[in-house]
Amino acid sequence: MREIHRSLPDSSLANAERCSARRQWECALLLVGALAAASFAPHPLVLPIISVLLVLAAVLAAGYAWLRSESRAQGEFTRWDQAGILILAGFAAALTGDSAEVLEFMETLTEPRPAND
């Protein structure tokens, strides 16, 4: 990373490296948070919930980067990179989920239960 930013002063370079490392940790914590939140759901709904949470987190990260006009600097881990990783993980979770299992689970929830006499 130092080769890319030779023209920057050392304090700016250290700040850019610190922000890049912090964003990587934020991304990891968002992934772990989505997994933890979905772990309390019934088994068929885990992957759809993870997918929705990660896509929402990606939209928020991209929106934040857009509102702050964050640059897409090469060699740094930016909010744009964070949004890309989160959306990729969200789509992967959606694609690996079994939609038939989810629909079957939802049908069992909506079935009328016999009244106890």
Q: With b meaning 16 or more CB within 10 Å and e meaning fewer, what string describes 27-37? A: beebbeebeee
Q: pLDDT at position 63, please?
A: 93
6 is written with which tokens?
């030779």
pLDDT means per 10 residues in the chain (117 residues)? 51 70 78 78 80 90 89 79 90 85 76 70
- Residue 59: other Cβ atoms inside 10 A: 14
pTM of the model: 0.68
Q: pLDDT at position 9, please?
A: 56
Domain-by-domain residue ranges, the chain? 28-109
| Spatial separation of the C-alpha atoms in residues 19 and 40, rounded to whole Å | 32
